[in-house]
Structure 1
Amino acid sequence: MVAAQDSAPAGGGFSARLKTALVGDPTARFVYVNNFEVERVWGTGEPKLPGTGLSFSSATVNRIEEVGVLLADEHDAVVLKDAVDPGYAAYLAALGAAQGLHLTVDRNLPERSVTHDALESPRLLAALRELADGRTYLMPLGISADEERLAEAAGLPLAGPSAAVCKRVNGKIFSRELVDAFGLTAVPGSVCRTLEELEAALASHLGEAGSRVVVKESLGVSGRGMVVLDEPRRGEQLLRMLTRRAGANRRVSVVVERWIEKQADLNYQFIVGRSGGVRFETVKTALTENGVHRGHVFPPALRPDQVQELRAAAEVIGKELAAAGYFGLVGVDAILGADGTLYPCLEINARFNMATYQNRIAERLIRDGQYALATTFDLQPSRVHGFDEVRSALGGLLLDRADQPGRGPRGVLINNFATLNATLQAGGGPYGRLYAICVGDDEQDVRRTRERAETLLKEMVAKP
């Protein structure tokens, strides 16, 4: 197996490549708005599966937006729900990991996304309007009608296409139809827009003994909007529930696919330029749990021919996205089946994802031949903690400098701190999360580093 991560930053690094592709200027200023779970806006008014409706994000999810500081170059800006902890800001600055201007909303409401907070922030909107110079663009994680409203209120052009285009190409139905139309290796499945089509798909794919299928809402998000069925009886129950809810409206918007036993989940990213050009960026092993993203390992253990298959799929997908009017970053979920079959496109995410926020820092800190594990630490703090406490708890395990004598940097890089305290600060219970990238010499090394770090962090939050 070989390392499949694209190495060296070409053309000035990830940030410059993104700007060149989207606005034709590698030194343009981007104002990053990191509106995680934008799918819940795209999914408004769309048919839902029972018990899987899109809900408003939790306080923790809404504070993931802090990870956007890792994308900003020195002339960029990031819209934040609250100020970065001073100790954490100093830590990132020492690594050269966060250089842009931080702009905070007037009032941080934990239950609201950063976009909604920004729309209700006269002071912030005035600051954004002052940035308008013909070379400054609003760069959301994903563009919905809310981000279009924000761009208009801020007097800044969007760096991406319209919300209507983004909603269409982010649907799982769009992905499935593209795969079928261009002959990419497809998981057996069907697109269903009516209850009759769903009934036929379940009968076709769920009829074999021991078979399982996944029913996915076209615009589901983060493991929600998805039902796994393992016998025809459960499929019949789902149909009855949907029929009762539908009444005269027989419309659904789902994809039905057979369950595939797998070796690995994969995620690869590429950029589609305004001119339609496609540039492959990275491929990583994706770590998932019950359909929810939990991190990445990179580089992945893939053969050169498997990487080339993903690159070829990216060209096909990118050209079709361009034809549909999309330009910007794209992340595609793929799987390597247990039998070695590579399915290069399960789902197209024509937006940023968590892997996006690792790109700039990985180019700067992780050397060729090193491994990285992007992960989360789920903790139970009983009080609010400052970053300096995290630094003290991790001690020498914290990755706090770009170079170490004789080798690349090793240790734990904290790439989102705000989520540790978000729930407590919102008046909730003892739940917090830290996002981190563990860097080491091989995959076993980074997993050992993660285990040690988790032990130290749990000891930290256990202290009164």
Structure 2
Amino acid sequence: MRAALRLGAFDAERSWRPPELARLPAAPAAADHVEVMDELLAGLCAPGDTLVTRRPVDPDLLAALRGAGLAFAHHVVADGPGGAVEELFARDPAAPALLRDHRLVPYAVTPHVAALASSTPLPAVADVARVNSKTWSNDLVVDLGLPGAGVVVRSTAELARAVADAGFPAVVKDPYGVSGSGALEVGTPGVLRAVTRVLDRQVAGGARVELLVQPRYDKAHDLSGHGELAEDGTWRWLGVRAVHNRGFRYAGAGPADGARARFEPALRDAAAEVARRAFAEGYWGPLSIDAMVLADGALVPVLEVNARTSLGRLALELDRVLGDGALRCHLWQVELAVPPGTTTGHLVRALRRGGLLLGAGSGAGCSVLGGGVVGPPTARLHCALRCGPGELDAVRARVLASFEAAGARPRGTVHAA
């Protein structure tokens, strides 16, 4: 099999979302952070693979990744005006040779990816977009009679009724929202009125409403199940991750050990049915299913479906590659306050000075994975923490102490699953 060519923008949902859909009120997204998340695909690379990124990767970070056992070639797309990494790559003089010599393995199948894939079989973009919609996954939950079904609404009047039926607080989701973007908690009638006013103004301008309304569940744990759906429909279950979210935003993932491990059989069964339905819709490729355990111990096995690569899948693969016997790997998103002049390389070197920088088979420690912006006065990036059972908090504290020695202090609540 030819080596993989990995690339892809982490905001694929934007390309799938119909342009006429009305938008929920939201704070501006951090586009610069999303643009560099393609660095995280390094965690999925095998020796001989090539990673394509939109921006250059810090040399210290590249060296550290390779030292941890993530060996790959790297190509930065030729600079150009705007556009996703796939769009810029299509205009890159190096693209024809790289595509000829590799098999294209994208983060997600988008229109720009499809335009690149003349020799790589991929599912149709329309089928991928449909399966990624929360409308599709909610219809599936209803059809299967699973717990956790919401209500799809197509007008502000339906929205008001559905929120009233769910009770305050309720959660309203855009069908193509991701990691907190496009999800809004409606806690009072006043908030609901404000949301409907925003939507009504857009409808008056020609937009249409399509939203999912769910109760605000009393949640104990978030989980995600992962597998691979082959072009012939063969389904391969890969495993489950425990997920930590900060509000509606992703914050990390790790092994689903202890009490959470008992839910894997039910998640595996639900995922197999989701895969069967997704294949019937024309989709194949990576498939991840978000789930949750409620405070009363009940399992909601299908909350959302991600028919693309996901951070949970990345966490699973990192554990396979960087895990070392009893030492397991946790994916951690950390936010720091950093002094002027700080770069990703400074944080990598801080880990090395603290004796924590991961090497292949070197014991507990941390590897900075990138996938974020280190732009003083703040930094947001992803790390892989490797540690033994019960050691996560201690290793995380040592990592933060190393960062603080370099002048970088944690911002907000610090978590890793």
**8 Å CA contact 2:356, 2:366 repeated in 1:** yes
**8 Å CA contact 1:294, 1:375 repeated in 2:** yes
Q: What residue identity is the alignment partner of 2:393? A: R
1:56 CA drift (Å): 6.6
**8 Å CA contact 2:131, 2:278 repeated in 1:** yes
Task: Work out which of the residue numbers 75, 94, 100 in structure 2 matches 1:132.
Answer: 100
Task: Work out which of the residue numbers 329, 334, 359 in structure 2 matches 1:401.
Answer: 359
Residue in structure 2 matched with residue 457 of structure 1 by the alignment: 403
Cα distance change of structure 1 residues 411 and 204 upon mapping to structure 2, 3 Å threshold: same
Residue in structure 1 matched with residue 5 of structure 2 by the alignment: 31
**8 Å CA contact 1:332, 1:348 repeated in 2:** yes
Alpha-carbon distance between aligned partners in 2 of 1:234 and 1:91, rounded to the nearest angstrom: 47
Cα distance change of structure 1 residues 303 and 246 upon mapping to structure 2, 3 Å threshold: closer
Pair 1:107 & 2:75 matched: no
Cα distance change of structure 1 residues 254 and 50 upon mapping to structure 2, 3 Å threshold: closer
**8 Å CA contact 2:329, 2:384 repeated in 1:** yes
Residue in structure 1 matched with residue 232 of structure 2 by the alignment: 275
Report % sequence identity. 25
Partner SS, residue 57 of structure 2: coil
Task: Work out which of the residue numbers 415, 419, 430 in structure 1 matches 2:372.
Answer: 419
The Cα offsets for residues 262-306 of structure 1, whole Å up to 9 and x where unpaired, read as 111111111111111221112111111121111112133345652
Alignment of 1:39-438 (within 5 A): 39-52=13-26, 58-99=31-72, 101-107=73-79, 112-119=83-90, 121-128=91-98, 131-132=99-100, 136-149=102-115, 151=116, 156-187=118-149, 189-206=150-167, 211-247=168-204, 251-302=208-259, 305-379=262-336, 380-385=338-343, 387=345, 390-404=348-362, 409-416=363-370, 419-421=372-374, 424=375, 429-438=376-385
Partner SS, residue 401 of structure 2: helix
TM-score by length of 1: 0.81
Q: Which moved more, 1:308-317 or 1:450-459?
A: 450-459
Residue in structure 2 matched with residue 22 of structure 1 by the alignment: none
**8 Å CA contact 1:283, 1:300 repeated in 2:** no
Cα distance change of structure 1 residues 117 and 461 upon mapping to structure 2, 3 Å threshold: farther
Q: What residue identity is the alignment partner of 2:144? A: F
Residue in structure 1 matched with residue 393 of structure 2 by the alignment: 447
Q: Which moved more, 1:81-90 or 1:165-174?
A: 81-90
Q: What residue identity is the alignment partner of 1:410? A: A
Alpha-carbon distance between aligned partners in 2 of 1:229 and 1:183, rounded to the nearest angstrom: 26
Stretches of structure 2 lacking an aligned partner (at least 5 in a row): 410-417
Q: What residue identity is the alignment partner of 1:39? A: E
Alpha-carbon distance between aligned partners in 2 of 1:248 and 1:58, rounded to the nearest angstrom: 26
The Cα offsets for residues 391-433 of structure 1, whole Å up to 9 and x where unpaired, read as 34443442432334xxxx21112222x6354xx4xxxx52222
**8 Å CA contact 2:340, 2:377 repeated in 1:** yes
Stretches of structure 1 lacking an aligned partner (at least 5 in a row): 1-26
Q: What residue identity is the alignment partner of 1:437? A: A
Which stretches of structure 1, 4 residues or more, deviate above 6 A after TM superposition?
A: none
1:325 CA drift (Å): 0.5
Alpha-carbon distance between aligned partners in 2 of 1:122 and 1:256, rounded to the nearest angstrom: 43
**8 Å CA contact 1:31, 1:137 repeated in 2:** yes
TM-score by length of 2: 0.89
Alpha-carbon distance between aligned partners in 1 of 2:5 and 2:322, rounded to the nearest angstrom: 23
CA RMSD of aligned residues (A): 2.6
Cα distance change of structure 1 residues 368 and 310 upon mapping to structure 2, 3 Å threshold: farther
